[in-house]
Chains A and B, each alone.
Chain A
Amino acid sequence: MSNATYETDTDPDTDGPAAVESRVGWRYTISQVKRDPTAVAGLVIVAFMTTVANIAFVDDVLFGFLGQYAFFANRGIEQFVLAETFWVNPEVDPGTNQILRPPVFMTNELYPEQPGTMAHPLGTDHRGRDVLVRLFYGTRIAITVGIVSTGIALVVGTVVGAVAGYYGGWVDDALMRASETLYAIPFLVLVIAFMTAFGRDLTFAMVGVGIATIPSFARLIRSRVLSVREEDYVEAARSAGVRDRNVIFRHVVPNSFAPVLVQATLQVGVNILIIAGLSFLGYGAQPPTASWGQMLNNSKEYMLPNPWFSIWPGIAILVTVVGFNLIGDGLRDALDPRINN
């Protein structure tokens, strides 16, 4: 593009929009991410996990819900109908199966002479349930908790931080001091206290972790809003009579959002890890629902006879968290204009 200083009405020095490489917008960001092989690896992992989680959601939650109605139940729709058709029910003790089987081609202390078979490719757990199918259905929990808890923190944190940064003064002081108070309480203690007060199930785990991570988002967006609110286009919007609410959420926040988006992607991975940890401690998805943290918890008693039982959920958590972190790193690079070449 030439930066000609002469221009006339009929010959502007810019071409049509198509000729200019846009440096904003989703399409550009995605094209930048695509050039980064590690980010693509992250995308592939997360896409795979999300697909698995969606199938698990349909089979578990949606069919479970529809199965309550005779109309659907009569047509064979019930919870885990897919799992039972293609594999086995992840939540019911089969009773007949051998427990703590090793994975296919492997042996363990309990079965030194009997390698695992394709019937249970990753072996069985302490109740004889198939580990692979439980991992598969545990994905739903992991992805849901990661995204929902981050979503809560993202939405509330953005509102709090943007309002605090935009108005400044006592509003800022009140909101930021409140969020620092939240920050001062050790994270796990806060979440466990919250769940002890309200209930031990997964919903409160997500809400609790979400609330506990609000301050990091609030601070991040506030720091951006402080500089963005001084921009002329914000003043222009104000001078045109735009409401404060719209100035904040239409003009200020979209221009402050890039670092928050990166933070959110990274936070999803962190939250999956935290909630797996909570499940391990017994705060989270309650049996018989399959979740990775709970599988780890169950497996700790059988570490010596069948170490595989511990390894698989560990690998699942690792891969998912790494996937989200890779995307986060890729996004950070794509959204940082200084790194763009």
Chain B
Amino acid sequence: MSPEPHPRHGLNQTLLSPVRLSIVAALSEVERADFKSLGAVIELSDSALSKNLATLEEEEIVSIEKGRINRKPRTWVQLTPAGRQAFHAHLEALRATISTKYLGLELEG
């Protein structure tokens, strides 16, 4: 019988970057966020945010929509359902990684 795969295999490669993880975590708590507010929340420059959002959009973790409010252009960012699922799975894998460590200690003790 093959052993259970290590929880690290459940980690999402895109979310291994702390910046992208921060972006997705912030988006997980809002229905949508505009580009400027999101940048302010995670304390990231416009260019870095833009670059990381492009990666997340490519992976279909977030969706980006451009619009106008009071004739001013706004860029709205939202977590996609697949992105939310990927985030959940990533968090579970992180928690399992910690549990595995403590479980290991328990067994050793």
Instruction: Please say whether chains A and B are actual partners in one complex.
Output: no
Q: Using CB atoms and an 8 Å cutoff, list the residues of chain A in contact with chain B.
A: none
